[in-house]
Structure 1
Amino acid sequence: MQDVMQPIGTPDGLFHDGNPATGQLGTIVSALWLNASQGAIRSTQSELLAVLAAAGVGIDPGSTTQVIEAIKKIAWGGTGAARPTTLAGYGITDAYTKTATDSQMAGKANVATTLAGYGITDALGYRGELDSAQINTATNIGIWRVLYSGYSTTLVVSDAGGSVGSVQTEYAHTGLVRWRNKTDGTTWSAWRNLATQATTLAGYGITDGATQASVATAISTASPPGLVALFGIALNTAPPTGWLVADGSAVSRTTYSTLYAAIGTQFGTGNGSTTFNLPDARGVFFRGFDNNRGIDVGRVYGSEQGDALASHTHTPPNQTGIAATVSSSGVKTLGGSSYDVLANVGYTGGGETRPRNIALLACIKF
Structure 2
Amino acid sequence: MDYPKSVPSVGLVNGRFVDENPLVGTPGSLIPAVWGNSVTQEILSVISAAGMTPSEVDTGQLIKALQTILGRSSPMRSVITRLTASKVLTTDELGLVLIDASAGVNTVTLPAANAALGVRDVIVRRVDNSGNRLTVRAAGTDKIRFHTHLSASGYPFMVLMGSGDWWHLRSDEAGGWWPVSRFDSTVLGRISFESTRQVIPGGYAVLNGNLLVRGDWPWLWDFAQSSGALVTEAARAGNEGAWTSGDGATTFRLPDIRGEFLRVLDEARGVDVDRSAGSRQMDALESHNHFLPTSSGSANRPGPGIADGSWDVTRDVNAAPATGIVGTTYPNPLFFSSGELVGNIGTFSAETRPRNIAYPARIKLI
**Range of TM-score over shorter length:** 0.3 to 0.5
TM-score scaled by length of structure 2: 0.43
Structure with more of its chain in helix, by fraction: 1
Larger radius of gyration: 1
TM-score (norm 1): 0.43
